[in-house]
Amino acid sequence: MQNKKRIAVVGASGYTGADLVRLAIRHPHMEISALTAHSHAGKPMESVFPHLANLNLPTLCRHEEVDWSNIDAVFCGLPHATSQQVIRDLPDHLKIIDISADFRLRDPDLYQATYGNPHVAVDLQQEAVYGLTEHYRDDIARARLIACPGCYPTAALTLLLPLVSAGLIDASDLIIDAKSGLTGAGRGLKQNTLFAESGEGMSAYAVAQHRHAPEIEQELSIAAGTSLTVNFTPHLIPMSRGELVTCYARLTPGHHTTDCIDALESSYRHEPFVNLSPDGVIPHTQHVRGSNSVTMNVYADRIPGRVIMIAALDNLVKGSSGQALQNFNVMFGYEETLGLQQIALFP
């Protein structure tokens, strides 16, 4: 196909980078022109990820070695703090889809308080668009720099934003119980993700201090029109991929569970990747594994006046690389579902 967009993946040796390559290789309007990974520079991609063999991919290199004049768009999957330094020095003609945390928080001071280092690309931060596709599609279409949301915020915000915007739940009394597969912790060696440490068990982490909480609060506060603080606790589950969030809230006076269901149906009726589970079906991570879909539902609590809301997604696809590719499609005016039509893997 002619007129393919030439893309680079910076940080291609991580789980996010690998999943982006897996999706991009079948995209009809993408040509993978450069893959970077400093620790693996000079190696073929298949030596790092054998499942990507026989795809004729570029050899991994350092990002300084890339000829950016031959690139149209770059996906950046580097760790926070590193990503902003690389993006700051990229040529102006590039469309940039950042999958790191560096441009998600609109306030540079909040970024420093959350991530422990000052933002070194404040001017770029001012032009970055938050990449929650279903809620910022028009802005994404005009943007040069997209800040893709974190996996937990993608699940929680997709579920909660329509309800908070409509005033159906008390946004000052939100509890978000979140659980993720181990790929959410990255590919680096960490004691708590060793099989002997994480297998056959479940554990909370970053209790009352997880870095995704300010991101969730930022977007919910915009929807509510007032500053909010949420109760957010993440957990690690001994599975490779998948994410489930269970949220608890008080209904505002005069509203019912059915109003919440109606609001979600109305908000996402025409969205290809957001689905309400059929009546009586509880969202499972197995329902979305490997796909770019979010499935959700709302249930009346046994406590009068309260609701239980559940959403599931694949943290590496809709929670990361899939949403990044979805934003690429919007930025370049392609059909939004291109490269993302995979049905969930089950069992």
Residue 233: CATH number of its domain: 3.30.360.10
Ramachandran class of 109: left when φ > 0, alpha when ψ lies in -120 to 50, beta otherwise: alpha
Provide the pLDDT for residue 3.
82
Provide the pLDDT for residue 2.
62
Asked, for residue 225, whether it belongs to a domain, the answer is yes
Q: Give yes or no: 247 in active site.
A: no
Distance CA 254, CA 209 (A): 34
Provide the pLDDT for residue 190.
76
Question: At a CB cut-off of 8 Å and minimum separation 6, what does 189 contact?
Answer: none
- The residue among 57, 65, 49 whose CA lies nearest residue 13 is 49
Helices (H), the chain: 15-24, 45-48, 82-88, 108-115, 122-127, 133-142, 151-165, 195-198, 212-224, 257-268, 322-332
Provide the pLDDT for residue 188.
72
Tokens of 146: 């997209």
Predicted TM-score (pTM) of the model is: 0.95
Asked, for residue 341, whether it belongs to a domain, the answer is no
| Shared-domain flag, residues 118 and 171 | no
Asked, for residue 163, whether it belongs to a domain, the answer is yes
Provide the pLDDT for residue 23.
97
Q: Number of folded domains in the chain?
A: 2
Distances (CA, A) of 251 to 163, 178, 245, 347: 10, 21, 18, 36
- The residue among 263, 11, 271 whose CA lies nearest residue 160 is 263
Distances (CA, A) of 309 to 69, 262, 323: 47, 13, 22
| Shared-domain flag, residues 121 and 182 | no
| Shared-domain flag, residues 261 and 295 | yes
SS3 207: coil
Asked, for residue 79, whether it belongs to a domain, the answer is yes
Q: Which domain holds residue 94?
A: 5-127
Instruction: Choose the catalytic residue: 61, 76, 148, 151.
Output: 151
Q: Tens-of-pLDDT digits for all 347 residues of the chain?
A: 468 999 999 999 999 999 999 999 999 999 999 999 999 999 999 999 999 999 999 999 999 999 999 999 999 999 888 999 999 999 999 999 999 999 999 999 999 999 999 999 999 999 999 999 999 999 999 999 999 999 999 999 999 999 999 999 999 999 999 999 988 777 776 777 777 777 888 889 989 999 999 999 999 999 999 999 999 999 999 998 999 999 999 999 999 999 999 999 999 999 999 999 998 899 999 999 999 999 999 999 999 999 999 999 999 999 999 999 999 999 999 999 999 999 999 98
